[in-house]
Amino acid sequence: MQHCPFDNVTDTPESLQSSCCLDYETSIDFFYRSVQALHVVTGVLGLYFSLYYIIKYSSKHFLPQNTKVRFYRVLRSSFFTEGVDDCLLQVLHLVQSFHATEDDPCSVRNTVSFCAPFRYAFAFCMFILVLSQYFMYVDRLIDNLYVSYKSAQNYILATLLIIEFPLAILTVLYVFRDAVSTEQLLSCLNVPLSSMVDVSIATAALLPVNCICLIMSVLLFQTHQRKITL
């Protein structure tokens, strides 16, 4: 690890973090700034086209009415919130990059406690996106197996939505439960070292679920009779 004369955070033998000098050199690099700027540009464009799409075309989806009204609105809201959160983060990192100095290389880093609102918002939106897609498969599965689905679909979907949000919140809180608030991160999107194992386990747990959903997408959506609304 590179010795940094002005490193007042990570220049300790027991530290597993990259040095502040390394993060400083990374943050002032042309390619780093270019990528951050590109993130901001694409993020703003994404938000613009999302709003344009919602306003002009959201009422013309060839989707089941229940899916369109409930899960799809949740997905759109999550996408938009995640986009705003990501844009704000990239702008913050760009500002820090241009204000960084050699005398204070640690200024490009942020504490875990400072990043908490961004991290929790981003992680919550990601889990909502994942769970919404999973529950759409559950909804299709119940529709194919439960004879009286149509008469009970509002109750079924309400139950799924009631489960979805607390489950997403509890999962995010559990994954980051051991995060050390004083840890330093170059980017607020980086996973804290103290939460790395839990995030890895959660990511690995989603893999078989995604494989099951892939199979279900072929088997269920082909046979599902949709209500098409223009």
**Residue-range domain boundaries for the chain:** 20-223
Q: What is the pLDDT of residue 56?
A: 78
Q: What is the pLDDT of residue 174?
A: 92
Q: What is the pLDDT of residue 221?
A: 62
pTM here?
A: 0.76
Q: What is the pLDDT of residue 170?
A: 93
Q: What is the pLDDT of residue 171?
A: 92
Q: What is the pLDDT of residue 14?
A: 52
Whether 69 and 59 have beta carbons less than 8 Å apart is answered as no
Closest CA to 25 of 109, 118, 83: 109
Around Cβ 149, how many Cβ atoms within 10 Å?
14
User: In which residue ranges of the chain is pLDDT below 50?
Assistant: 1-2, 16, 225-230
Q: What is the pLDDT of residue 228?
A: 38
For residue 39, what are its two tokens?
């993130």
Long-range contacts of 57-63 (CB under 8 A, 24+ apart): 60/230, 61/229, 62/226, 62/228, 62/230, 63/226, 63/228, 63/229
d(CA 25, CA 32): 10
